[in-house]
């Protein structure tokens, strides 16, 4: 009877711990799970901590420094154990998340700011409420998660986006040169194509008023500099990704050049984090957006949530595939004969090609 009573007492105590959400810690003592929400700012972070029932244990502001944030949570006592932490995506949030994972072993989720804002129950905005909302979402498991890319992928993204910034500057410079020629009603119709070496040589000899010539010379100097800078950035990207197995595999596919492979590697990161090609295509912004309601079934163009640069480079790849690859050119021709607009055909080819590509490269991953 004594043995039965002892076993019964042990079982009841364990049941109480399970019901209350307590867990066994590394020391064998019961630990209380808590959930942390961090409202990130450059100089300070609002830290909110909730227990499993939603009671706020802490909601205070502390300096934006990993050890300080960890210390403020651990100051609640050794009985508490962080079961999850949520940070809204912003500049610097990924690095802070990495630091909390590395230094404290926390489970950190990055939250999509657009979806989080729609979950607010009040039009008022303040750090106290934002941090509590993040802690609440983490507690109930409703955080709209964003992938926390490894540092190597984030660094590659910085290179890719810097190159995009340079390309945009070059495009703006070309537009200014074209506008200056139109101002003086110079058509520039010569035998060579625009922006080729013969065309640029002709541009240097075009008669212009003194001040316009001064501006033109400086714009052309800017264009030369930007071309050199872009070549230098691309050479650096070539060096950085030289041993990346995924980039090598992507470049072996029809229609994929160096820039497309770099952007796919940087923006998608790990292909195996997607369950299907359809999910990857939607991430790339190539899936049609559904606006069906009741009896009405309709699409409303492409989804707008994807990365614009990634979507544009994939549609450019689709144009190349339509021109040079028999399989995709036949698909495009079939759609054109059915009366589909050319822009819709290019997007549809890009959509189907991404789904096909997913199955070609999902198992070829170099862990960053």
In this prediction, residue 139 carries a pLDDT of 95
Confirm whether 231 is domain-assigned: yes
103 and 174 inside one domain: no
209 and 294 inside one domain: no
Cα angle 142, 154, 271 (rounded to 5 degrees) comes to 65
Confirm whether 263 is domain-assigned: yes
229 and 112 inside one domain: no
- Average pLDDT, rounded, for the chain: 86
Enumerate residues 6+ apart whose C-beta is below 8 A from 257.
251
Long-range contacts of 233-237 (CB under 8 A, 24+ apart): 233/159, 233/162, 233/163, 233/166, 234/163, 234/258, 234/259, 236/159, 237/159, 237/160, 237/163, 237/262
Residues in the chain with pLDDT values less than 50: 1-23, 26-27, 366-368
In this prediction, residue 255 carries a pLDDT of 84
Confirm whether 98 is domain-assigned: yes
126 and 167 inside one domain: no
In this prediction, residue 30 carries a pLDDT of 62
Q: Which domain holds residue 211?
A: 151-240
107 and 129 inside one domain: yes
Residue ending a domain, among 205, 240, 275, is: 240
Secondary structure in 3-state letters for the chain: CHHHHHHHHHHHHHHHHHHHCCEECCCCCEEEEEEEEEEECCCEEEEEEEECCCCEEEEEEEECCHHHHHHHHHCCCCCEEEEEEEEECCCCHHHHHHHHHHHHCCCEEEECHHHHHHCCCCCCCCHHHHHHHHHHHHHHCCCCEECCCCHHHHHHHHHHHHHHHHHHHHHHHHHHHHHHHHHCCCCCCCCCCCCCHHHHHHHHCCCCCHHHHHHHHHHHHHHHHHHHHHHHHHHHHHHHCCCCHHHHHHHCCCCCCHHHHHHHHHHHCCHHHCCCHHHHHHHCCCCEEECCECCECCEEEECCCCCHHHHHHHHHHHHHHHHHCHHHHHHHHHHHHCCCCHHHHHHHHHHHHHHHHHHHHCCCCCCC
Residue ending a domain, among 240, 267, 302, is: 240
289 and 302 inside one domain: yes
Confirm whether 5 is domain-assigned: no
User: Quick one: CA torsion of 280, 284, 286, 289, rounded to 10 degrees?
Assistant: 90
Both structure tokens of 73: 């949570």
In this prediction, residue 167 carries a pLDDT of 96
Confirm whether 2 is domain-assigned: no
In this prediction, residue 31 carries a pLDDT of 85
Confirm whether 367 is domain-assigned: no
In this prediction, residue 293 carries a pLDDT of 66
Residue ending a domain, among 82, 114, 146, is: 146
Confirm whether 353 is domain-assigned: yes
Domain count, the chain: 3
Bridge partners, residue 33, by sequence: 81
128 and 29 inside one domain: yes
130 and 223 inside one domain: no
Confirm whether 141 is domain-assigned: yes
69 and 186 inside one domain: no
Round to whole Å and give the CA distance between 253 and 298: 34
123 and 221 inside one domain: no
342 and 309 inside one domain: yes
Among the listed residues 41, 98, 45, the one whose alpha carbon sits nearest the alpha carbon of residue 71: 45
Round to whole Å and give the CA distance between 116 and 145: 10
In this prediction, residue 124 carries a pLDDT of 81
102 and 219 inside one domain: no
Round to whole Å and give the CA distance between 86 and 97: 9
């Amino acid at each position: 009877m004594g043995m039965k009573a002892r076993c019964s007492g042990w079982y009841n105590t364990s049941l109480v711990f399970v019901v209350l959400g307590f867990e066994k810690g590394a020391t064998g003592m019961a630990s209380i799970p808590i959930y942390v929400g961090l409202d990130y700012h450059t100089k300070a972070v609002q830290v909110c901590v909730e227990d499993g029932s939603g009671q706020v244990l802490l909601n205070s502001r502390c300096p934006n420094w990993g050890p300080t944030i960890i210390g403020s949570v651990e100051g609640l006592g050794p009985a508490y154990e962080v079961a999850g932490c949520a940070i809204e995506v912003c500049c610097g949030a990924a690095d802070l998340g990495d630091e909390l994972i590395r230094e404290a072993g926390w489970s950190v989720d990055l939250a999509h700011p657009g979806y989080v804002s729609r979950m607010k129950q009040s039009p008022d905005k303040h750090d106290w409420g934002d941090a509590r909302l993040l802690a609440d979402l983490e507690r109930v498991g409703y955080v709209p998660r964003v992938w926390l890319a490894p540092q190597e992928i984030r660094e590659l993204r910085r290179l890719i986006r810097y190159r995009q910034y340079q390309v945009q500057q070059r495009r703006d410079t070309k537009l200014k040169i074209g506008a200056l020629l139109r101002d003086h009603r110079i058509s520039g119709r010569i035998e060579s194509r625009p922006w080729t070496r013969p065309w640029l040589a002709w541009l240097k000899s075009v008669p212009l008023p003194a001040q316009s010539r001064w501006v033109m010379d400086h714009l052309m100097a800017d264009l030369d500099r930007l071309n050199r800078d872009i070549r230098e950035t691309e050479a650096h990207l070539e060096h950085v990704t030289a041993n990346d197995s995924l980039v090598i595999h992507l470049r072996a596919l029809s229609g994929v050049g160096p820039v497309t492979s770099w952007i796919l590697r940087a923006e998608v990161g790990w292909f195996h984090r997607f369950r299907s090609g359809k999910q990857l295509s939607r991430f790339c912004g190539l899936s049609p957006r559904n606006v069906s309601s009741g009896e009405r079934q309709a699409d409303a163009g492409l989804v707008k949530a994807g990365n614009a640069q990634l979507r544009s480079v994939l549609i450019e790849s689709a144009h190349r595939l339509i021109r040079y690859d028999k399989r995709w050119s036949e698909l495009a021709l079939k759609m054109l004969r059915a009366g589909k607009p050319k822009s819709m055909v290019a997007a549809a080819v890009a959509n189907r090609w991404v789904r096909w590509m997913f199955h070609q490269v999902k198992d070829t991953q170099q862990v960053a």
